[in-house]
Amino acid sequence: MALTIGVDIGGTKVAAGLVDEHGEIVAQTLRSTPADYPDQVAQTIAEVIKELAHGHQVEAVGLGAAGFVDETRSIVRFAPNLAWREEPLREKVAALVGLPVVVENDANAMAWAEARYGAGRGESHIVCVTVGTGIGGGIVLGGELYRGRWGMGAEMGHMQVVQRGRLCGCGNLGCWERYASGSALVEEARVIAAGEPRRAATLLEMAGGSPADIEGEEVTEAARAGDDAALSAFASIGHWLGQGMADMAAVLDPGCFILGGGVSRAADLFIDRVRESFTRALTGSGHRPVADIRLAELGASAGLVGAADLARRR
Ligand SMILES: [Zn+2]
């Protein structure tokens, strides 16, 4: 049996799995990320690989990294939540473990796993939208992962959707993720709670009375309890998600969208709004097939499964 190892490296956790050719995880392990020290990150990655490889024939290793990965799939140019700057991650890890290594952007790895083994099975044109604190994404076209010329494609969270809009972490104004992510959800709820506290009675009670203390989990909980402000905040991100997906569809015409990430766990609170807004904004609506909007199926392990599969196909 040909096994590969996938490692998902985020700002707080390094999750690794030994994966077979059907995308099944045979064994897995987890460490915290020494995010401030690139050499220690490489050491930690090497440790989890050695731990999982012990007693197995391992063909290759795929690293899913939360950062901008170059087109040769070896260097992490920049990572917002780790100290990587022009980090030669592939060479470092390959030297430590003595196996072939490929590096992939983590959202690309997740998209690939969903395309192969998850919600996108059977589809060849897929846009995966990962909604967490921000928006990440991956694009599969004609059955292949689309990386762009420099490896920096599919950063869809930074499409500008509002002119002179909210300031984004990337330095631009009005990016999609400032209106359609987990942080946008919280911001929206705080604004409503501050301006119209009567609509946010349940939410404010949960947050201890202060709009500034409202957190994402509370917005979800309050929405489930029928809080008007929390429901409006979900409706707002649902609207913006659908709008952005319609823009993506205008360019890419995918067969399906896959919605993943932490915020998608509360999808029942906004998915109808996403579909409604998508259908309304879709160019040529009424005269074209409407792409399916599906929920991701593989959960938190998608990143490592995708990285392992990409290593197999290196
Ligand atoms: Zn941005």
User: Could you read off the pLDDT of 181-227 as tens digits, one per residue?
Assistant: 999 999 999 999 999 999 999 999 999 999 999 999 999 999 999 99
- Please give the distance, rounded to the nearest whole angstrom, from the Cα atom of residue 268 to the centre of ligand 1: 27
Average pLDDT over all residues of the chain: 96
Question: Confidence band (pLDDT; 50, 70, 90) for 169?
Answer: confident
pLDDT in tens, 261-294: 999 999 999 999 999 999 999 999 889 999 999 9
Crossing angle (nearest 10°) for helices 228-252 and 182-195:
140
**For residue 51, how far is its CA from the centre of ligand 1 (angstroms)?**
38
What pLDDT is recorded for position 1? 67
Q: Which residue has the tokens 């490896």?
A: 151
d(CA 60, CA 21): 12
Phi and psi, residue 128, nearest 5°: -105, 125
SS3 sequence, 28-97? EEEEECCCCCHHHHHHHHHHHHHHHHCCCCEEEEEEEECCEECCCCCCEEECCCCCCEEECHHHHHHHHH
Is 172 exposed, middle or buried (CB count within 10 Å of its CB: 0-12, 13-18, 19+)?
Answer: middle
| Å from CA of 158 to ligand 1 middle | 4
Contact indicator for 231, 269 with CB cutoff of 8 Å: yes
Phi, psi of 88 (to 5 degrees): -80, 65
Question: pLDDT tens, 101-110?
Answer: 999 999 999 9
Distance 102 CA to ligand 1 centre (A): 27
Q: Quick one: pLDDT band at residue 309, thresholds 50, 70, 90? A: very high
Cβ-in-10-Å burial (0-12, 13-18, 19+) of 98 comes to: exposed
In whole angstroms, give the CA distance from residue 80 to residue 57: 35
pLDDT of residue 82 exceeding 80: yes
pLDDT of residue 55: 95
Averaged over 27-33, what is the pLDDT? 97
Ligand 1 centroid vs 171 CA: distance in angstroms? Answer: 6
Could you tell me the two tokens for 215? Answer: 């957190």
Q: How would residue 80 be classed by pLDDT, with cut points 50, 70 and 90? A: confident
